[in-house]
Structure 1
């Protein structure tokens, strides 16, 4: 299963990369590309991917993400700075203080610029209380 998810993510990156090496006289679209492979993994340094999703936001929201419109809107609100997804945890929710790390990643391009972003949470509760208000990693 882990190899299958890794293969899907690798294939998606190849599709995202397209013909990056080929010079073109005219752009194919009026929109700068915005397409990402998003993952949720168990662990920190040697994390095992448990879920992955593709998301393309320009010119229309699409991909394997269950709610691409909401995820693209949340990403657009960050202006390409994915650290802005990390809101203060909801104050009315308490999480256990055990360490069972969960790592989220976003790899691809956003408005034509390469992105390789990663953040590790202490556990799934900390991840959900921090990321609940945006839909990017809700898959």
Structure 2
């Protein structure tokens, strides 16, 4: 049997281990006499002020010249091609036979009327014409008498003029009543517009 180990035996020199395993009891240190010396403050310093920025180097673009567009010159009016004259559906009438005997001093008086037949109807215009010598309320009595003398007082026998007229529908009604060299005259006709009437009768109904 081996020898028993007791606390006294452990304190003997033969059981002494390395010095690192045997720690002495803590010794009380010297009493604290003063704090740590103050540490120097930070060495950071604010940056020096920067000079002001010279501002942006952008500059506006120079003004551009205006547009070179110019309006087109005015164009001449579109030419309206000439239209053929309005055909007269009536057959030509034979001339009046010569009147026997002298006609000097016989009456040549007509009452001429022009009225528009549109709705509402306009008030008709009425003039009186007397020839040899020409006078009356007709504004172109001399021209009207010259045409009626060649047509022997019948407006339907006046030679129509060949002038261009628009085909606008504005009907007018022309009438002539009276006496010409002791012969009664009764004329009535409706035209499509005043221009056609003036081409057919000349100055007789131009008032």
Please tell me whether the aligned partners of residues 102 and 120 of structure 1 are also in contact (alpha carbons under 8 angstroms).
yes
Q: Pick the aligned partner of 2:189 from 115, 119, 133.
A: 119
Work out whether 1:67 is the aligned partner of 2:140.
yes
Give the SS at the match of 2:167: coil
Q: How far apart are the structure 2 equivalents of 1:54 and 1:89?
A: 27
1:88 Cα deviation after fit? 5.1
CA distance in 2 between counterparts of 1:80 and 1:129 reads 17
Q: 2:167 pairs with 96, 105, 124, which one?
A: 96
Q: 3-state SS of the aligned residue for 1:70?
A: helix
Task: Compute the displacement of 1:102 (Å).
Answer: 0.5
Aligned-pair CA distance for 1:52: 1.2
For residue 124 of structure 1, report the CA deviation from its aligned partner. 2.0
1:36 aligns with 2:107: no
Residue 198 of structure 2 contacts residue 205 of structure 2 at CA under 8 Å; is this kept in 1? no
Structure with higher Rg: it is 2
What is the deviation of 1:49? 4.5
CA distances 1:69-126 after superposition (whole Å, capped 9, x unpaired): 2111110010233212251542xx141253x310111111111111110111012232
Name the CA shift for 1:86/1:42 in 2 (closer, same or farther; >3 Å).
Answer: farther
Structure 1 segments unaligned to the other structure (5+ residues): 1-28
Determine which structure has the larger helix proportion and give its number: 1
SS at match of 1:41: strand
SS in 2 for 1:83: helix
TM-score normalised according to structure 2 size: 0.44
User: Normalising by structure 1, what TM-score?
Assistant: 0.63
Equivalent residue for 1:110?
180
Whether contact under 8 Å (1:70, 1:136) holds in the other structure is yes
Q: Over aligned residue pairs, what C-alpha RMSD do you find?
A: 2.4
Whose relative contact order is higher, 1 or 2, with alpha carbons under 8 Å and at least 6 apart? 1
Q: Residue 81 of structure 1: which of 111, 129, 154 is its match? A: 154
Distance across 1 between alignment mates of 2:137 and 2:128: 5
Structure-2 change in CA distance of 1:126 and 1:62 (3 Å):
same
Instruction: Provide structure 2 residue ranges, at least 5 long, that are not aligned to the other structure.
Output: 1-102
Q: Point out the structure with the larger strand share.
A: 1
